[in-house]
Structures are given as C-alpha cells and as structure tokens.
A and B are shown apart, each in its own frame.
Chain A
Amino acid sequence: MAETKARVARPLSPHIQIYRFMLTYVMSGFHRVTGAGLYFGMLFVVWWLMAAASGPNAYAQVQWFMGTIIGRLVLLGFTWALIHHALGGIRHLIWDTLHGFGPSEREWLARATLVGSISLTIIVWVAGYLAMGGGR
C-alpha cells in the first residue's frame, strides 16, 4: 500500500491470536514456513551438486557434514519440510477443484497432511538407512 500523508488511527481487524486454535490455520502457516525453509534449504542441494562436480575432496566435506548431528538434523528437517510442503500442496490442489471445504473435510485434510508428512519422513529415513546398509 502506498503511504498516505495523513495516517488516521483506524480500527484494525484482529490478527490470528484472537481466534480459537484451529489446525487448519496452523497447517496454512506450516505450508508457508516449510516453503520458506526449503527455499534456503536449496543451498544444501547446490552445495551437494557443486561438490560432486568439483571432486572427491569437496564431496567428502559434504558427506562429512551430513554425517554430523547438525547435518543429520538439517537433512531430517529438509526431508520433513519437503514432504510436508508437498502434501500441503496436494491439499491445495484438491481445494482448487472446489472439494474438501466442508468442516469435517478440511479438518481431516489438515490432520492427514501432518500425520502423512511425519509417517512418510520416517519411511524415507528407514529406506535411507536400509539403502546405506544399516546405520553407521
């Protein structure tokens, strides 16, 4: 909005803190926050690809970092954010077809997004550890 010269103290509409807790608005916020997180998380993807293109030493550095506790937490967060954002996106695509707006449906979708993202993250990590041949 363009700044107006005379700012009149008009009443503002209430922000979310005044409303009763709703899972749907929390999931809406999660969608945006995970999206923003993944935006910066792409830097790790770039780092990984550039290291692979640079040579064994650079690649070993990435592998070392991803093996540390912090690296694994970053990777876990990235995995969950990616899956959560993807499921949240599917929820939005369902809404785009004008379905799923009913009181029970939207609540169910919000829960399914959260339960689905946590379950799928666990499945992906189990698959990852199995692919590596057990934990290291």
Chain B
Amino acid sequence: MEPNVSMKTPLGRVRGLGSARSGTQHFWHQRLTSVAGIPLTIAFIVIVIALLGRNHAAAVQILGSPLVAIVMLLFIINTVYHMCIGMQEIIIDYVHNDLTKFIVLMGNTFFGVAVALASIYAILKLSSGV
C-alpha cells in the first residue's frame, strides 16, 4: 500500500488490524477441555472396562443408567470439542493452499458435529429405553 494515496483516515487504516482481544480463545478452550477431559477420560475407561464381555442387555442397562449416560454425554461433548480445536490447529499448520484449507476445515467441523450428534442420539436412545 502506498502511504499517501489512500483517502482513509489514519484510524480507518489501522482499525481491525490490531489485537482483536480474542486470539487466545482457542488456547483457553483447549486448556478448559483438557482439564475437564482428565476425570471424564478416567470415567470413560472405567465404563468401558465395566462393559467388557457383557452382553447387549447388560450394556444397555449400564449405558442407559442416568449417571453413566450423563458422564458419557459430558465425555463426548468435551472430547469432540477438544479434538476439533486440535485438528483445526493441525490443519492450519500443514495445509497452506487456501481452497484445500477451507474444505478440510469444513470437513473437520462436519466430522465433529456428526460424531457428537450420533453419539448423543445413541446415548439418549439408550437412556430412554425405546
């Protein structure tokens, strides 16, 4: 940009170019979900171990019980959000072509929504006993 040609005011030229004061949002959310992920992941492992070798009826009963279902819902929501922020970071690091990047970023969001929705639907269905 040539300095003296533009008719923009000095304020107009710099507006929006500085810190938006929101640059650390993903960093913070990644920390938030990683802290939440510690107890939730331990609970998830315990639930899976409790279900090992059991038949379908027992699995439905355990997965559909309120406490287990709520913990599983929290685990899924927390994990999917965490993994989507993480994958976004990986994509931004390695995919430099703009078009490919936007497509892959969209795919990342679609994948996260699909994984979360399918899991939540399954857990709710197990809980309602339909």
Contact = CB atoms under 8 A, between A and B. Distances in A.
Contacts of B60: 52
Contact of A50 (B37, B59, B122): B122
B126 interface: yes
B115 A52 contact: no
Contact of B49 (A56, A90, A127): A127
**A-B complex: 9 closest residue pairs judged by Cβ atoms:** A53-B122, A132-B53, A49-B122, A56-B56, A59-B56, A53-B125, A89-B34, A39-B83, A50-B122
Nearest to B62: A52
A36 B87 contact: yes
B126 to A, nearest CB: 5
Interface stretch (A4-12, A40-48, A110-118): A40-48
Interface string B71-100: 010001001100100110010000010100
Interface residues of B, number: 37
Contacts of A49: 63, 72, 118-119, 122-123, 126
B113 to A, nearest CB: 12
A82 B82 CA distance: 13
A36 B34 CA distance: 15
B96 A136 contact: no
Contacts of B123: 49, 53
A42 B87 CA distance: 13
B35 interface: yes
B32 to A, nearest CB: 11
B31 A93 contact: yes
A122 interface: no
A86 B37 contact: yes
A88 B85 CA distance: 17
B50 interface: yes
A55 B55 CA distance: 11
A1 interface: yes
Given A52-B63, A89-B34, A93-B31, A42 B53 contact: no
